Amino acid sequence: MNEQLFAYRCLQCGELHHPQHFVCRKCGARQFEKVLLEGEGTLVTWTRVYNLPEGYMKPFLCFGIVNFPNGLNVSGQLEVDQPEIGTKLQTTVGVVKEGIGQDYFGFIFKAK
């Protein structure tokens, strides 16, 4: 399965949004185009969560905020042993939570 995640660029002013908005935060317009989010980003900040919901078979998960070259900041799971702010990470999309009859996809950032 080749899942993809997108940002949405306002057709009036060019502001990028993620996740999708119905009204542009900058100019109030309502028309957007999809922009594929992929490639390399830079780790801005991160945290480790130990108190996971039932069903996770891991002692903790790491989450981070990654800055893309287009200026957009996006959150996702980190698959990095020792996260450090400023690290260049590769963007992937994968299953972030398994559900009954439906998996949930999101960003997973990995070391280059």
Per-residue pLDDT tens for 80-103?
A: 999 999 999 999 999 888 777 788
pLDDT value at residue 1: 52
Q: Residue 50: which region, alpha, beta or left (left: phi > 0; alpha: psi -120 to 50)?
A: alpha
pLDDT value at residue 105: 87
Q: For the domain covering 39-111, report its CATH number.
A: 2.40.50
Q: Residue 109 pLDDT > 90, yes or no?
A: yes
For residues 40 and 107, the answer to whether their CB atoms sit within 8 Å is: no
pLDDT value at residue 75: 95
pTM (predicted TM-score): 0.85
Instruction: Provide the β-strand partners of residue 17.
Output: 8
